[in-house]
């Protein structure tokens, strides 16, 4: 039995292009973001999926729609959930990153952005994000994968970081070095016990 899980970070959004803390704001994809989604679909080739999951935010939904359309699978059963949403950046939401650093200081903003357990004012830490993403994955998504349903998730940088930490058993202390760029696909092959037995990344990571 093939147990396939594909994680997709949405293509570039208007928030990404403008260097904003986007969080739960809901901008659309840029033309570059559309191109990135189409490139992922081309990389997936003739891969067939049985079920799809995405967040409640348009940039992830649109990315998934582009990919499935290009794969000829637009009618695929798709489940949307806010549990897969991007991290809530609280008071940083909508601010340019340079503007946030001028208000709170570079050290604070960088620590909020990259650490595991520090949250910006009125926002979520990555640990908080994990607390909603991981249970949803375990109860709703993983049973599909383990039953042999080829599964694709289109979500966000931080919600996917939370999943990758669990799938690859990465220590929270190493999380600051993890980056998932827009338009990235992570393809996992899973064992029957939910552990990973193989991984491919598109585009190939720079070494």
Which residues form the catalytic set?
10, 86
H-type alpha helices, the chain: 14-17, 31-44, 58-70, 97-104, 106-114, 126-136, 142-146, 157-167
DSSP of 13-66, one letter per residue? BHHHHTTB--TT--PPBPHHHHHHHHHHHHHHTT---SEEEE-SSHHHHHHHHH
Q: What is the Cα–Cα distance from 43 to 115, expressed in whole angstroms?
A: 32
Residue 46 C-alpha from the chain's centroid: 22
CB 162 within 8 A of CB 129: yes
Q: What is the Cα–Cα distance from 141 to 151, expressed in whole angstroms?
A: 8
């Amino acid at each position: 039995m093939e147990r396939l899980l594909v994680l997709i970070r949405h293509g570039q959004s208007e928030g990404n292009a403008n260097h904003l803390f986007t969080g739960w704001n809901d901008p659309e994809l840029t033309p570059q973001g559309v191109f990135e989604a189409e490139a992922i679909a081309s990389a997936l080739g003739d891969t067939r999926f049985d079920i799809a999951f995405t967040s409640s935010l348009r940039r992830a939904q649109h990315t998934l729609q582009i990919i499935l359309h290009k794969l000829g699978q637009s009618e695929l059963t798709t489940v949307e959930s806010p549990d897969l949403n991007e991290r809530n950046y609280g008071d940083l939401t909508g601010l340019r990153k340079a503007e946030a650093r001028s208000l709170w200081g570079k050290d604070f903003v960088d620590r909020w952005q990259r650490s595991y357990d520090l949250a910006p004012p009125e926002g979520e830490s990555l640990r908080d994000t994990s607390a909603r993403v991981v249970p949803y994955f375990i109860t709703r998504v993983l049973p599909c994968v383990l039953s042999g349903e080829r599964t694709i998730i289109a979500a966000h940088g931080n919600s996917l970081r939370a999943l990758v930490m669990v799938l690859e058993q990465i220590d929270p202390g190493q999380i600051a070095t993890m980056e998932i760029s827009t338009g990235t696909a992570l393809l996992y092959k899973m064992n029957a016990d939910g552990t990973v037995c193989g991984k491919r990344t598109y585009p190939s990571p720079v070494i």
